[in-house]
Amino acid sequence: MVQKKQSLTRKSSPKKQAAAAETSETIAEQTALFLKSGKKIEVIQSGISHKPTLEAKKQINLRS
């Protein structure tokens, strides 16, 4: 049985991510376009989850 030699070359490393300043600029541009299109940004209070609860709300009556 003949075995093939494996290539010893390395794969090129992935490109570096864009600088944070460039990313911030991109986000600012996208936000401006979003608002210009007439859409609104909804501010959510801290501690509020976007996930719906699966449990039924239990009502406890302490004055029975």
b/e 21-32 (16+ beta carbons within 10 angstroms → b):
eeeeeeeeeeee
What confidence tier does 64 reach under pLDDT thresholds 50, 70, 90? low
Indicate the pLDDT class of residue 3, thresholds 50, 70 and 90.
low
Which is more confidently placed, 14 or 7?
Answer: 14
* Closest residue by Cα to residue 40 from 49, 31, 51: 31
In the structure encoding, which two tokens stand for residue 10, read together? 């390395």
Task: Read off the pLDDT of residues 10-59 as tens digits, 9 standing for 90 and up.
Answer: 777 777 776 666 788 899 999 999 999 999 998 888 877 767 766 666 77
Structure confidence at residue 9 (pLDDT)? 72
